[in-house]
Chains A and B, each alone.
Chain A
Amino acid sequence: MGEAKKETEVEQVSEYRQELIELREILLANVVMAAEIPSPTFHEEGVVKFLFNRFNEAGLNNVSIDEAGNATGFIPGTVGERNILVAAHVDKIWEKKEDHTISVSADSMQGRGVADNSLGVAVLATLPIILEKLDIELESNLILLGNTCSFGRGDLAGMRFFLENTKVGIDSALCLEGTQLGRLSYSSMGMARGEIEVSVGEEPDVLQMDRSSAIGSLNKIINSILAIERPEKPRTAILLGSVEAGSGYNVPPTTGRLRFEIRSESADVVARVQGEIQDIVEECRAMDQCEASLAILAQRSPGDIGFDHPLVRKARETLSELGIKTKIAPSVSELSALLDKKIPALTLGLTKGDNRHAKNESILIEPVFDGLAQLVSLLKFMDSSFDPTDEK
């Protein structure tokens, strides 16, 4: 790239950033509102309605809530030959009964779900105003999607429904996540998400607890899983996410549950490890004379548009222009559904934050404007310069 052109682009990104600061209160109000509406997976109606109203207020076309509960809005392009999708998942990990109050200081916001993914939802809600503020009219059609059922058993149901049923061919896409700024996901890992349930049938003898309680059986299963061979290449991990069993100090539990994910760059390795875990569960059933079952709740295929893909290259350049270090991070979220459909796509983080998925989850306000400048810069690139079929 010529020095003069590069300088112009750096100046433009910087100008976007500066102009967008004027929208700070509008954006942050949207973060507060999106965050304070409970939105557990499968019960996202409140946040979807919020997005629906914002899209209508902004005068978007075809504003609707589809059968999967997704909120969608359409901004027609001046040419309209291409279609760009910008998506943010609307579900949070928190149950409705939790306190969703957000607190705001001069430089940060804190509260359940503020990063994942209230900021993403808020940016989606504010995007029409952002483009208007910057006087940007895209040649391409822009489709805004607040997709449901991203987490856990949701298994990307909202995004999958949209991609299966949309009548619009998506040429490229961006997925918005609250954190971390600099994150660049252009590949999806192979993944299998599972639950193992153990039941010992009746309340065990307290003196035999270590051998016959659900905790004892789960413990053996966990030890066996941790002993499974995991290759360094292709990179592979088994994540033990949660263990549930028992309710006190002195009553041996009769049931227990382990939640886990297998992640690998290779679909074959995911399948092999999944098979080994199935064997472990069956062995437990036979040896401990307990009821043990494995349920696979979600699966992803590995996908990758490549480090040298023009979209990835542009994203890296933009981050560099903003002085932000790029952190490559494979994704197991919406991106994988898009890559499954061979749609060039990225997942972007919008700001810096801490304590993700904790009740004191927080985001920094100032870096959000870097995230927005990055988003706008990429949208303009996807609109005018980028041929989705050009992979190198």
Chain B
Amino acid sequence: MSSTTKIISDWLSTNTYHHSDFWDVEKLVEAKEKSGQSISLCIPTLNEEKTIGKEIIIFKSELMDRYPLVDEIAVIDSGSKDKTLEVAASYGADTYLSADILPEEGFKPGKGENLWKAIHQLKGDIICYVDADITNIHARFVTGLVAPLIYRPEVHYVKAFYDRPLAFSEGVRPSGGGRVTEILVRPLFSLFFPELTAMVQPLSGEYAVRREVLEEIPFPIGYGVETSHLIDVYQKWGLSAFAQTDLDSRVHRNQATTDLGKMAFGILQSFLNRLESLGMVTDLPQMETIFRQFQVEGKTYEQVLKEIVEEERPPMNTIPAYLKSRGRG
């Protein structure tokens, strides 16, 4: 057995969980209170009025009212045109427009921007990020992710995975091993960061992280945020800083292949930038930022162009307003 294979096997046996390992929420709350840590739940949104209400209701009922595990539930929005913020606020979530947080830093549209600004806006020692488009929402989406951080001080970053695909119809499906993961990210990790292939679902939008880790890593604002996080945390803290939890199935809207192409384009940009900054490749040419797809009508082929620039926010602990708000400025 190669050393990488052994490292991954050992890590899988010690740092991979199933959410049912943490079924006892009362015990989890006790351990959290004993540890003195606080937990913020962040839900980044853009036009999610159809699913946000249910998420807030479930999390507030099960993780604040019944069991005081989470100290704040915040929705950070990129500028929804629908009633996302109104619905979220009506069920007791704290709601913020991303553009209103750290206004001196400006606003960039993208999920990663919301995640980054959450570090400044939210108070928790642990921040748990959960996407807003989950239709089978359940408290396990939070308990399964924060529990390893509460019980194991050496773990810094816990990622969700969904390992039990079921049959679904009507345009929804569990994400399982996603297409972009299997045909892009996993091959890239296998080539350059083989230990990171241990993450079953590196692109999942649900993860919980300690503040001291979040504030030290840069944030791509677009599709590359999850991949970059994994590389950056791995470089600084190693594989042992990670854990992952099986949350069973996650049901959400299926994405068109053309949308996945855009995602892959953004991830690849971030990935290559990381390789270059780490000195793992040199002399990369200037990369194009236009992603080209095609559509056909009759016998006419038409180019569909989309500019995708993976901008990046610097580590939050380099932002003066943040340091000041934490008493370090």
Contact = CB atoms under 8 A, between A and B. Distances in A.
Contacts of A102: 54
Interface in B36-62: 49-51, 53-54, 56-58, 60-62
A209 interface: no
B86 A32 contact: no
Nearest to B89: A106
Contacts of B251: 101
Contact of A101 (B61, B65, B92, B135): B135
A32 B86 CA distance: 20
B254 interface: no
A29 B62 contact: yes
Nearest to B52: A104
Contacts of B90: 106
B81 to A, nearest CB: 16
A8 interface: no
B65 A26 contact: yes
Candidate in B57, B83, B92, B251 with the most chain A CB atoms within 10 angstroms = B57
A104 B54 contact: yes
Interface in A6-52: 24-26, 28-30, 32-33, 36
A36 B136 CA distance: 8
Contacts of B87: 104-106
B22 interface: no
B306 interface: no
A81 interface: no
A25 B50 contact: no
Interface string B233-265: 000000000000000000100000000000000
A105 to B, nearest CB: 6
Interface string B107-137: 0000000000000000000000000000110
Interface string A88-125: 00000000000101111110000000000000000000
B65 A32 contact: no
A29 B61 contact: yes
A20 to B, nearest CB: 13
B86 A106 contact: yes
A102 B138 CA distance: 13
B11 interface: no
B53 A104 contact: yes
A26 B54 contact: no
Interface size class, chain A: 10 to 19
B83 A106 contact: yes
B91 interface: yes
A108 to B, nearest CB: 10
> For A29, A57, A106, which residue has the most chain B Cβ atoms within 10 angstroms?
A29
Interface in B122-165: 135-136
A57 B58 CA distance: 17
Nearest to A104: B53
Nearest to B58: A29
B153 to A, nearest CB: 30
B136 A104 contact: no
B302 interface: no
Nearest to B139: A29
Contacts of A28: 57, 61, 91
B66 interface: yes
B170 interface: yes
Contact of B57 (A25, A36, A57): A25
B53 A105 contact: yes
Contacts of B53: 103-106
Contacts of B51: 103
A101 B170 CA distance: 11
A32 B58 contact: yes
The CB with the most chain A CB atoms within 10 A, among B49, B62, B91, B92, is that of: B91
Contacts of B62: 29
B83 A26 contact: no
B54 A32 contact: yes
Nearest to B64: A25
Contacts of B50: 103
A105 B61 contact: no
B67 to A, nearest CB: 10
Nearest to B251: A101
Nearest to B138: A33
A187 to B, nearest CB: 37
Given A105-B49, A106-B83, A106-B90, A25 B65 contact: yes
A25 B60 CA distance: 7
Contacts of A33: 58
Query: Closest 7 CB pairs between A and B?
Result: A29-B61, A104-B53, A25-B60, A104-B54, A25-B61, A106-B90, A26-B61
Interface of B: 49-51, 53-54, 56-58, 60-62, 65-66, 83, 86-87, 90-92, 135-136, 169-170, 251
Given A99-B170, A105-B87, A106-B86, 12 more contacts: A25-B56, A25-B61, A28-B61, A29-B60, A29-B61, A29-B62, A36-B136, A99-B169, A101-B135, A103-B50, A103-B54, A106-B90
19 contacts: A25-B56, A25-B57, A25-B61, A25-B92, A26-B61, A28-B57, A29-B57, A29-B62, A32-B57, A33-B58, A36-B136, A57-B66, A99-B170, A103-B51, A103-B53, A104-B53, A104-B57, A105-B49, A105-B87
